[in-house]
Amino acid sequence: MIERSFLMIKPDGVVRGLCGEVISRLEKKGLKIVAMKMIQVTREIAEKQYEIHREKEFFKSLINYVTSAPSLVMVIDGKEAVKVIRNLIGATNPVEANSGTIRGDFAMFIERNIVHAADSPENAIKELSLYFSEEEILSYKKVDEDWLYSE
């Protein structure tokens, strides 16, 4: 079953010029980007997205960071997309992320870990609704889908 997920290339990934690398890894894996836009995340949206961390000591610095420069947000479809993306990006703490993952290859510490991705299908739905309307999400078939998903 095709699943939909959310991925954000955070400000450090954007200003370091890593968007192409991240997108390339997603596409090479076989995932399909069905919506994408570069935005300046507002405090209001950042606080909704990271609501789960509101009582933690790093919340304020996280919000300041996420709103400090543009981010690239995406809607991504694929079989078990949430799990596949989480494996591609690696552990939240780059020190613990395996080499070959986005965080393992490009990030040095947890406060600047390049990307955010939904950690469950339920959270993907919530996060997608913060950044995209249904009208912005496209539907199309990639030329390699039959090869990727044939039984």
Identify the CATH number of the domain in which residue 15 sits: 3.30.70.141
- Residue 149 is predicted with a pLDDT of 83
pTM for the model: 0.95
Nearest by Cα to 119 from 97, 94, 93, 87: 87
> Mean pLDDT in the chain?
96
Residue 149 inside a domain? The answer is: no
- Residue 151 is predicted with a pLDDT of 65
Residue 120 inside a domain? The answer is: yes
Q: How many CA atoms lie within 13 A of 113 on its CB side?
A: 20
Give the whole-angstrom CA distance, residue 93 versus residue 50. 17
Structure token pair of residue 48: 């909704």
Q: How many structural domains comprise the chain?
A: 1
Q: Which run of H or E residues covers position 82?
A: helix 81-89
- For residue 136, the enclosing domain spans 2-141
Residue 124 inside a domain? The answer is: yes
- Residue 76 is predicted with a pLDDT of 98
Instruction: Decide: 87 and 93 in contact? Cβ < 8 Å.
Output: no
List pLDDT tens digits, range 117-129. Answer: 999 999 999 999 9
Structure token pair of residue 139: 């539907």
Instruction: Decide: 3 and 115 in contact? Cβ < 8 Å.
Output: no
Q: At what angle do helices 121-131 and 81-89 cross, to 10 degrees?
A: 80
List pLDDT tens digits, range 29-75. Answer: 999 999 999 999 999 999 999 999 999 999 999 999 999 999 999 99
Task: Point out the residues that are catalytic.
Answer: 116
Residue 55 inside a domain? The answer is: yes
Give the whole-angstrom CA distance, residue 118 versus residue 85. 9
Residue 150 inside a domain? The answer is: no
List pLDDT tens digits, range 62-116. Answer: 999 999 999 999 999 999 999 999 999 999 999 999 999 999 999 999 999 999 9
Band of residue 14 on the pLDDT scale cut at 50, 70, 90: very high
